[in-house]
A = this chain, B = another copy of it.
Amino acid sequence: MDAITIKDIARALNLSTSTVSRALRDSYEINPETKRLVIEYAERLNYRPNPIALSLKENRSRVIGVVVPQIANNFFSQAINGIEAIAYNRGYHVIIFQSHESYEREVATVQQAVARKADGLLISLSSGTSDFSYLRQLQEKKLPIVLFDRVSKEIDSPCITADNFGGAFAATEHLIQSGRRRIAHLTIPPHISITQERLAGYRAALEQYDIPYDESLIRYAGFGHNEVEPIVDDLLTLSPDAFFAASDRLAIGCLSALKKRNISIPESVSLIGFTNISVADLLAPPMSTVEQPAQEIGQVAAGRLIDLIEGKQKIPQPGTIRIPTKLIVRASSQLESTLLT
């Protein structure tokens, strides 16, 4: 209701608003005495400049919009954590938008962010997005955009992702080296960048070890509630000797399905995208994981975006930055004692 303004200070001190404004901004061309007076009074009354008025004046909001498919998701909540850390350090606030894996909602939500005068956008594309014209339009309007995690080369924005290819390659190689040859690849919808990259890493590893690529072992699951189990059932008829699950959700669904069927495949289930390592440690059968550097991805993406906003990067410098992943191998030996029958 109240909130002290520059006007209040001016009136109280018998000065003009412009003098007060200058004193507070520490302008050089001002009487030191007046300056002291104003600053003291402002501090005493706990004056805070109204950021909305500033936004209107400067036509910028010091807000960056973050668009993710889902907040309630380990990867994204950690990425947002990284984004916030950087943003707040550099004086920006973060407004979060969810696209709920829908193209329409993504477009609507991005429009919202633009209407709210976000100074820049950090976007992880929804699985439903294949048309990027709405983003190109924004770029033409010089709105800084950085893509992270789920990116696209179709628009020339900087992209920050995990090293999905490398992570998938390492995971697959690990399975091969431990004797597996029929590795089921359970993944998310096909046109998402991370799907492609992980699949490519998987294929490259097979190729390197002269293992034929069997398309029937590749399955794409959506984000529905009970989509995973029937897919696993179906895969089982092909007698795979390992599963590569491309996200934590899929990995859990996969393990859950195997467990229900009383199938244990020690050391055969490798997961990429599982960030909640502390839980993976507890699971039986053991599950090796590729840890995604969610927080770091967020940090790097936020840093790049703010550089763009503040014009520290003259040229938009597209291109992809890949943050390394970590392969964490868990063996069954150390866990056998706790296995239940």
- A residues lining the B interface (CB < 8 Å): 1-2, 48-53, 55-56, 61, 70-74, 77-78, 80-81, 84, 93-96, 98, 111-112, 114-117, 141-143, 252-253, 255-256, 259, 262, 264, 266, 276, 278-279, 281-286, 295, 332, 335, 337-340
Are A48 and B284 closer than 8 Å at their CB atoms? no
Q: Considering the chains assembled together, what is the distance between the CA atoms of A279 and B50 in angstroms?
A: 46
Interface-central residue, A74, A111, A266, A282, by most chain B CB under 10 Å: A282
Most buried by B among A55, A72, A94, A339: A72
The answer for the CA separation of A171 and B95 in the assembled complex, in Å, is 38
Known: A256-B278, A262-B338; 9 extra A-B contacts, CB below 8 A, are A50-B56, A52-B116, A71-B80, A81-B98, A93-B112, A253-B278, A282-B283, A283-B283, A284-B339
Q: Which of B52, B84, B252 contacts A52 (CB 8 A)?
A: B52
Q: Which residues of B contact A61 (CB under 8 A)?
A: 52
- Name, among A255, A266, A284, the residue most crowded by chain B CB atoms within 10 Å (CB to CB): A284
Give 12 A-B contacts (CB < 8 Å), ordered by A residue: A51-B117, A53-B56, A71-B84, A80-B96, A95-B95, A256-B278, A259-B335, A266-B340, A276-B279, A284-B338, A285-B338, A332-B340
Which residues of chain B are near A93, meaning CB under 8 Å? Answer: 95, 112, 116
- Chain B residues within an 8 Å CB radius of A48: 111, 114-115
Are the C-beta atoms of A340 and B285 separated by less than 8 Å? yes
Q: Contact at A51–B115, with CB atoms within 8 Å?
A: yes
Alpha-carbon gap, A70 to B78, bound state (A): 10
**Residues of chain B contacted by A143 (CB below 8 angstroms):** 1
Contact A256–B284 (Cβ < 8 Å): no
Inter-chain contacts of A77 with B (CB < 8 A): 71-73, 77
Contact across chains for B72 and A117 when beta carbons are under 8 A apart: no
Give the residue of B84, B259, B335, B340 whose beta carbon is less than 8 angstroms from that of A338. Answer: B259
Shortest Cβ distance from residue A245 to the other chain B in the assembled complex, whole angstroms: 13
Least Cβ–Cβ distance between A54 and chain B, in angstroms: 9
By a CB distance below 8 angstroms, the chain B residues around A1 are 141-143
Q: Which of B52, B81, B279 makes the CB contact (< 8 A) with A279?
A: B279
- Contact, CB under 8 Å: B117 / A52: yes
Closest to A283 in B: B282
Determine whether the beta carbon of B337 is less than 8 Å from that of A262: yes
Are A116 and B51 neighbours in the complex by a CB distance under 8 Å? yes
Assembly CA distance A249 to B197 (angstroms)? 32
A96–B92 CA distance with the chains assembled, in angstroms? 12
Tell me which of B81, B256, B278 contacts A71 (CB under 8 A): B81
- B284 lies within 8 A of A284 (CB): yes
